[in-house]
Amino acid sequence: MKRVLHSAFTLVLCLILISQISVISFAEEGTTSKPEPEKIIYYGDVNGNFRVDTLDARRILQFALRIICITHHYSLLADMNRDGKVKAVDARLALRTAMGLEELVVYDGPVGTDEWVCVDVADIAEPYTPTVAGFSTNINDESVFPILKQLEQYCSYFGNTCTFYYTDVREKYYISYYSDRIYRTQCSIKAPYIKALLVYLEENDISIDSTIQLKSSHCWSGHYLNSSYRLGSWIPIRTVMHYALHYSCNTAYNCLFDTFGADILNKNSQRIGSNLRLGWYMFGENNAYDMSKHYLDIYRYNGKYKDFLLYEMEHNESRTRIPMGIPSGIRVINKIGTGGGKTLGYHDCAVVYTQVPYVLTCYTSFNFTRGSDRIPFRNIASYITQINQNVSYE
Ligand SMILES: [Ca+2]
Ligand SMILES: [Ca+2]
């Protein structure tokens, strides 16, 4: 959407500019008598007066937008950048030429015919127009339109119980499905928190092998750290992080959160432009769009503990959602989130290392007691991978 708006904005700006300058040049033409120009044909002269002025730029823009037709001969002259097509960029170049910002270029091609031509519809790249509510994208690469259509239809089965946000790590493209819908983060918060904490440790010269104490207030029943260590034990930070990422152990995460606090994450959220904030409680609320910023941040993390973080996220024991939708041989790091009751949330957030890697954050309110509800994650990941691998990044 952003790109479409941007190009529409550029065109409108261009039109305003052209109309304003035309008025000025008319006024000037009316008050002075210019000498007859030499009879040289230049690129951009689409009305045969041997000059390139704002009237020419306007005609080229109107032609490129399919508002008017011009003769075949003038369509050859209108191709300012000589790419074989007449588009808004040619009108912009003609305008710059008229304003003296570009050199006049003598036309050296063949003389065209007097036949009237119009811009072919196929030459205008139409943006993809979704039909399913909640679905949006800025992809206008026609080669992936059929897969986008399938993904969109697939999403329509779930209504807004499923949300996701996709972007490649260059942030050139996005696909969003209800990605502004708010959920409890569940355990998908643990990887962003630990990434922020690793930066904090490095900046404050705290060793990842220094120890923190396991207290009774940290303990969640049925979670791993408290069944492996006695209360009051001093445990290396590295080990506590391993439990939080590998087993998604709430006791381990609580031990880190209680020791180091919420600000570590909140400051990082502010830095990367995410609205996610934690208060007294170690889980927060946000949406798939904001969470994608945190996983992009994990992808971009290049600090001392990068290998540790990526290893733990690649070898965690919950790999049945997004990772199972990715062809083998492609590296995937992920962190799931699962919770029931009033704060129902069944999520997975991943970085997928395709040729141009991407982030997929999938937030849902699926019923986590049904194993079959993992399958949509895999299907969405599969569609997204095909799209990511087939769009042009030029
Ligand atoms: Ca002219
Ligand atoms: Ca052109």
Span from the CA of 94 to the centroid of ligand 1 (angstroms): 10
C-alpha neighbours within 13 Å on the C-beta side of residue 70: 27
Q: Residue 75 Cα, ligand 2 centroid: separation in angstroms? A: 10
Give every CB contact of residue 204 below 8 A, 6+ residues apart in sequence: none
Whether residue 166 is found in the same domain as residue 312: yes
CATH number assigned to the domain comprising residue 161: 3.40.710.10
What distance, in Å, lies between the first and last C-alpha atoms of the chain? 18
| pLDDT (0 to 100) of residue 229 | 94
| Average pLDDT, integer, range 226-236 | 94
Q: Are residues 71 and 192 in the same domain?
A: no
Query: Which of residues 367 and 79 earns the better pLDDT score?
Result: 79
Q: What is the mean pLDDT of the chain?
A: 90
Confidence of residue 33 (pLDDT cuts 50, 70, 90): low
Find the 18 Cα to ligand 1 centroid distance in Å: 14
> How far, in Å, is the centroid of ligand 2 from the Cα of 389?
29
Asked whether residue 264 is assigned to any structural domain, the reply reads: yes
Interatomic CA distance for residues 282 and 110, integer angstroms: 72
Instruction: State the pLDDT at residue 211.
Output: 98
Question: Considering the entire predicted model, what is its pTM?
Answer: 0.71
Is 7 part of any domain?
Answer: no
Weakest mean pLDDT among 2-11, 126-135, 379-388: 2-11
Domain termination site, one of 82, 99, 123: 123
326-350 residue pLDDT tens = 999 999 999 999 987 777 899 999 9
Residues 64 and 185 in one domain: no
Ligand whose nearest atom lies closest to the CA of 70: 1
Q: Tell me: do 311 and 205 sit in the same domain.
A: yes
Ligand 2 center to 86 CA (angstroms): 4
User: Could you tell me if 94 and 144 lie in one domain?
Assistant: no
Does residue 10 fall inside a structural domain?
no
Residue 65 scores a pLDDT above 70: yes
The closest ligand to the CA of 55 turns out to be 1
Where helices occur in the chain by DSSP H, the ranges are 2-31, 54-64, 72-78, 88-98, 145-156, 190-203, 225-228, 237-246, 250-260, 263-272, 288-300, 306-314, 375-390
Out of 74, 93, 123, a domain closes at 123
Residue 128 inside a domain? The answer is no
Q: What pLDDT does residue 34 have?
A: 65
Q: Report d(CA 79, CA 62) in Å as an integer.
A: 13
Residues in the chain: 394
Question: Distance from the CA of 101 to the center of ligand 2, in angstroms?
Answer: 18
* Lowest-confidence segment of 213-217, 264-268, 286-290, 365-369 by average pLDDT: 365-369
Question: Whole-angstrom Cα distance, residue 72 to residue 63?
Answer: 12
What is the Å distance from ligand 1's center to 148 Cα?
Answer: 44
Q: State in Å: Cα 55 to ligand 1 middle.
A: 7
Distance in angstroms (rounded) separating the CA atoms of residues 268 and 37: 63
User: What's the pLDDT at 125?
Assistant: 63
Are 76 and 176 within one domain?
no
Q: Nearest ligand, CA of residue 93? A: 2
Per-residue pLDDT reduced to its tens digit, 260-309: 999 999 999 999 999 999 999 999 999 999 999 999 999 999 999 999 99
pLDDT in tens, 86-115: 988 899 999 999 999 999 999 999 999 999
Last residue of a domain, one of 78, 97, 123: 123
Tokens 């992920």 label which residue? 334
Smallest-distance ligand from the CA of 43: 1
Domain that holds residue 70: 30-123
pLDDT at 315 over 80: yes
Is the pLDDT confidence value at 2 over 70? Answer: no
Q: Which ligand is nearest to the CA of 92?
A: 2
The pLDDT value recorded for residue 17 is 45
Q: Are residues 297 and 148 part of one domain?
A: yes
- Going by pLDDT thresholds of 50, 70 and 90, the confidence category of residue 52 is very high
CA 182, CA 143: separation in Å to the nearest integer?
33
* Amino acid (one-letter) located at 15: L
Q: Is residue 115 part of a domain?
A: yes
10-25: average pLDDT: 47
111 shares its domain with 181: no
Q: What does residue 348 show for φ and ψ, rounded to 5 degrees?
A: -155, 135
**The token pair that represents 76 in the structure block:** 């050859």
180-201: average pLDDT: 97
Measured in angstroms, how far is the CA atom of residue 150 from the centroid of ligand 2? 34
CA of 64 to the centre of ligand 2 (A): 9
In a domain, 17, yes or no: no
What does the pLDDT average to over 189-196?
Answer: 98
Q: How far is the CA of 173 from the centre of ligand 2 (A)?
A: 25
Higher-confidence position of 274 and 27: 274
Neighbouring residues of the ion ligand 1, judged by CB less than 5 Å: 45, 47, 49, 51, 56
Tell me how far the alpha carbon of residue 115 lies from the centroid of ligand 2, in angstroms.
19
In a domain? residue 12: no
Which-ligand-closest: CA of 63?
A: 2
Read off the pLDDT band of 391 (50, 70, 90): very high
Considering every ligand atom shown, identify the ligand nearest to the alpha carbon of residue 56 and give its number: 1
Output the CA 24–ligand 1 centroid distance in Å.
16
Q: How far is the CA of 121 from the centre of ligand 1 (A)?
A: 26
- Ligand 2 geometric centre to CA of 48 (Å): 19
> Does residue 88 sit in the same domain as residue 157?
no
DSSP-derived pairing of the beta strands 358-364 and 162-168: antiparallel
pLDDT for 222: 79
User: Can you tell me the distance from the alpha carbon of 5 to that of 39, in angstroms, rounded to the nearest whole number?
Assistant: 41
- Ligand 1: centre distance to CA 50 (Å): 6
Q: What pLDDT score does 20 carry? A: 45
User: Do 297 and 210 fall within a single domain?
Assistant: yes
Domains of the chain: total: 2
Contacts of 340 by beta carbon, 8 Å cutoff, 6+ apart:
368, 369
Residues lying with their CB under 5 A of ligand 2, a single-atom ion:
79, 81, 83, 85, 90
What CATH code is carried by the domain that includes residue 108?
Answer: 1.10.1330.10
Are 101 and 183 part of one and the same domain? no
Q: Tell whether 283 and 322 lie within a shared domain.
A: yes
Inside any domain, residue 88: yes
